[in-house]
Structure 1
Amino acid sequence: MRALSVESMVESGASVIRAEAAALTLLAEKLDHRFAEAVELLVQTPGRVVLAGMGKSGHIARKIAATLSATGSAAYFLHPGEASHGDLGMLREGDLLLLLSNSGQTAEIAAVLSHAERLKVPAIAITAGAESMVARRSTVTLLLPPCSEACPEGIAPTTSTTMMLALGDALAVSAMRKRGISRTQLAHWHPGGRIGWGMQTIKAFIGESEPLPLVRADASARDVVLEMTSFGKGVAGVVDAEGDLIGVITDGDLRRAFDRMLIAVAGDIMSRDPITIAKHASVDDAIARMQQNKITVLFVMETETSRRPWGLLHIHDLRLNV
């Protein structure tokens, strides 16, 4: 084992990142009409996208399959080594084949390509081998620019697999945009974890609406304090005769009106035109609105145009426990 200083190790790591970043920049500059053709194939495919690759390329292919599925292109991974032992039956007419091979000469992929040709399944190749077997036999070839691996011996796939991964993300996101995948669709596909938590609607997050801390404009300051205290949210809404929200009163509003507490009414203390949000907005939308307006509580309305309060959301309600 070599003795390396902290500075040497940091510089070694940084040099790898710089090399791969430079390769990604070059890859972006080299994209051409073939990339657009590949996106069209993805979007027009009636079946599923079948990804295949061996070794490190196979690991990248698995990740790209997951990203495609998460963004509107149903995809799965076919192991080329298992394909010749029965798994070729996973590939059907109407599917699209997406092959990853840095050299383009991976022997195990040949059988997959032959079966795809029998089924008239189109193939997209991601490879650095412009004249390789995979490039010649594919419908569209996306060439990786010639870049040295970040491995000091130039052997371990590093830079090449980073470019493959980025190109897979580019295909998935471009196809998603062309399909017009909505935020609602993404929420259906990501119900778990931080993504799903943030994309759920405020209505789903709160559940059933409970009684709200509301007072009329002529309510005394004492009544406002009692209403705020009973709900523990540090806020009271002020409504008119029709029940529409016309203002809010926070702890800060009460402190600022302390010298008028004995004579003031809610209409004198309240902040007018309060920031609100609709119940069908997402939790992430609510967090963003609080941050943008530097507030900690939002009255939730039936719709964006409605002034009738439906619920109440406090920043403390949004503690993430996933």
Structure 2
Amino acid sequence: MTGIDHPCSFHGLPVFTLPAPGDDGGLPDTLPGADSIAWRLDCAWDGPEFPVLWQHFLDTVDPAAVRALLIGPWWSEEYSPLSPVVELIAADAGRFPALRGLFLADVVGEECEVSWLQMCDITPVIEAFPRLEELVVRGGGSGLNEETLELRPVRHEALRSLRFESGGLPGQVVRAVGSCELPALERLELWFGSQWYAGDATVADLAPLLSGGAFPRLRRLGLQNSEIQDEIAAAVASAPVVAQLEFLALSMGTLSDTGALALLDGQPLTHLSGLDLHHHYLTDPVMARFQELCDREGVHVDLAEADHWDPDDDEPRYVAVSE
């Protein structure tokens, strides 16, 4: 699960993990103000079951003032599906009128590999929080169980930032995102992952997103961590959506000279403030072209984590996050 960490801040607030009931240290004498931090719930190993922790949270913190919430490991022993957690959160949504940021599955590799997370349909939480502004979902499909991530097309007036971090993002989810009506969306980030972990999205699935008509306020777009990064780059090279962007990320995937040259020979990128290509398979001459272009036009380009891949050796290329 390389490249995935617990965030220190979320939705502009420092993250604080609520001590679970029965923790040896107990609750501190004074907890932070309910609106001053992003609250993280973590059942950990041998901790309470999630319903117990959730009730403890409701009893300990004023839910009406909570602005951001992160759900860490929701199992106490064996891995379990996220669906009961989603049901609880959605059922109590009325108690959280100030909630603007939600992170489902803030889990790192030491706790559970991203492809082992047993996900579910996360649409109910989107529908339950009409004022939600930021949603992050970690996890996706899996070759190990049938509990995969699902999404239904929805209309949401307030959502400004949507990010799916996955080692295998189902094509159904990508198509659903493209069918959503999100008039306020400014940032969209999709990690596609590997086909071995149900990452079966295609370039055709991206057509609504690339058209420029789906999300009129979109300014930051990440199409990342893909085994078909060359195909995505070639599609982006002529995609209408690029003209409205300030920042573009095609990083973490298997980008080679093929996709990079299509991008360089496509529509101008000089209006961007940033171009993220880190974790790639570009040769030095192609990297030099990007660097020269961006230096000349004042575009910040990230070319870190170069893997000097030789196509003549027939060596495989890897995404940054898969299992």
TM interval, short-chain normalised: under 0.3
Larger radius of gyration: 1
> Higher helix fraction: Structure 1 or Structure 2?
1
Query: What's the TM-score, normalizing by structure 1?
Result: 0.26
Higher RCO, Cα 8 Å, sep 6+: 1
